[in-house]
Amino acid sequence: MELNEIIQQRIDKLSAFKEAGMRPYGQKFDKTFAVKDLLPSFEDGKNIVIAGRLMAKRKHGKVCFADLRDEGARIQLYVRKDDPLAEKDFELFNKLDIGDIVGIEGETFKTHTGEPTVKVKAFRLLAKSLRPLPEKWHGLKDVQIRYRQRYVDLIASPEVRDIFAMRSKIMSSMRSFLNSRGFLEVETPMMHLVPGGAAGRPFATHHNEYDMDLFLRIAPELYLKRLIVGGFEKIYEINRSFRNEGVSTRHNPEFTMLELYAAYCNYEDMMRITEEIFAHVAQEVLGKLEIEYQGQKINLTPPWPRRSFAQAVKEHFDINPEDETAVMVQKLRAKGRPVEDRLSRSQVVRLVEEILTADAPTQPVFFTDYFSILCPLAKNKPENSLISERFELYMAGMEVANAYSELNDPIEQKQRLQEELKEEAGSTQRCLDEDFVEALEYGMPPTGGLGIGIDRLCMLFLNQPSIRDVILFPLLRPEKGTESVEG
C-alpha cells in the first residue's frame, strides 16, 4: 500500500473515535505510574493508569495483545472482548494503529509465561499517528534520514534515546563536580559586537532596532575573563558556540562547550582539574575508568602523560619557534610536505600542528609547549617567550580540551591582538576588542582557563563514531525541494 493511502486510511479512522466521544488530540491525561516505575516491583491485581505509544498489536479472535511504550520502558496490554470491554470498545481498540498514543486504565497481572501485563478496562486515544512507523527500522537505515527525522529515530530506536539521556547525565555530572568545588555557573552573551576568544569564522547577524551588525559567539572566553576582572574567582559556563566552518564527523557549526576559569591558577592546575572532571564523570555515569571507543580501550585513570609540541616539531621537521616563515616552509618541503609560499607564519605553524596531531594516540595525552604565535590569549613561559603555557588534550586522536595560563598583561595583550589582526589583513569581520583590553587594564589576577568540547566528550563516553550521533538536531544540508522561495 502506498504511503498516501495509508495516511488517508488513518485519517478515515479518526471519525470512528470522534463518534465514540473521544478527542483524538489535545486532552490532558493523568497517569498514576510510569511504566519504568511499575516494572521493578510488579504486583498482580493493582489498578493503574498509564499512557504511551502503541508499538505492536497482535489480534487472536476475541483477544488482542499490544505493546505500550512510554519514555522509559515497554509493557504488554491485554484486551478481551466483553472482559471487561464492551464489544463496541473492543472494536475501537482494534482500530488503533501502531504509533498511536493512548491512555490506559487497567489491572496488572502476569501471563502464564510470567510476562507483566495490563488487562485493559478502558482506553482513550490521545494522539492519532497519521504516518506509519518504519517496520523494524528497515525504512530509516540511511543516517541522513535518521538525523533529519530525529523524532522518528527516537521513537523507533530506544537505544538512541538512551544516548541522549546519558548525555544529559554527563552534563549534570560535570555541573555537580564543579559546583561542589566552589565554581559558579554563569551566562554570557551569545551575540557579540566583536567576534573573539578563539580562532574561527563567525556567523553574522543584524539587530534591527539598533541597526547594528552582530556575530554569534565563537567562544565565551573574553566575557568570562571580564567576570574574573569583576571579582569572581571560580566560574564556568556550559555554552553554545557557533563557527561558520566545515561539517564533518567531528565538527558541527553549532556545538556545546564547557569553559571554566579559576583565579590564582595556571595551566598546570587546569591539567589536574581536566583529569579530575573526566575521571569523575566516567566513574559516576559509566561506573568505570576504562571506556571503549570504536573497538579501542581508553584508560582514564590519572595522571595522564604529557608531550612537548615544540620538541615534536623539532624532531620531525627541525623547526624552531624562532624560525622565519620562509625557513619553516623550506624545512617542511625538505621533509616532503607541500607548502604554499603565500601562507603566513601562524598558518604554517597550524599546518605543522595538523600534521603532528593527525596521528595522536588513543590514550589521553596532554600536548604542551605550543608556539606562542598560536596562542595570542595565553601567557608565555618565563624562560622562553616563544613558547606558551598552554595544553591541548587529545584522546582517540581527537582534541577534546584546550587550556591556558591566561595572559593578564593588558599592554602585551593589546600588542598581540594587533599583530593577529595584521596577519588577517583584509578580513571585515575582525577588529580589536578595545573593551576587553580596557577590562584587563583594571587588573585581572593570574588565571587558568579551560575549554572542554562536550560533544566530543560524549562521542568518546558513549562510543559514537560521529558528532551527529550525540547532537539531537545536527545541521544538515537542505533536502532538494525544501529550500525557501521568495515571492
pLDDT at residue 458 greater than cutoff 80? yes
Name all domains of the chain by residue range, CATH numbers in brackets. Answer: 3-133 (2.40.50.140), 156-305+363-470 (3.30.930.10)
Of the pLDDT bands very low, low, confident and very high (cuts 50, 70, 90), residue 429 is low
pLDDT at residue 487 greater than cutoff 50? no
Give DSSP secondary structure letters for 8-70: HHHHHHHHHHHHTT--SSS-----S--HHHHSTT--TT-EEEEEEEEEEEEEETTEEEEEEE-
Is this model's pTM higher than 0.85 or not?
yes
pLDDT tens-place string over residues 123-168? 999 999 999 988 754 445 678 888 999 999 999 888 999 999 999 9
Residues above pLDDT 90, as percent of the chain? 77
pLDDT at residue 88 greater than cutoff 70? yes
pLDDT at residue 273 greater than cutoff 60? yes
pLDDT at residue 424 greater than cutoff 50? yes
pLDDT value at position 482?
52
pLDDT tens-place string over residues 209-226? 999 999 999 999 999 999
pLDDT value at position 207?
95
Q: Where are the alpha helices (DSSP H) in 138-266?
A: 143-148, 150-156, 158-180, 221-229
pLDDT at residue 257 greater than cutoff 60? yes
* DSSP letter (8 states) at residue 477: P
pLDDT value at position 428?
56
Grid coordinates in use for 265? 591558577
Helix (H, G, I), strand (E, B), or coil: what is residue 215? strand
Query: Mean pLDDT across the stretch 169-198?
Result: 95
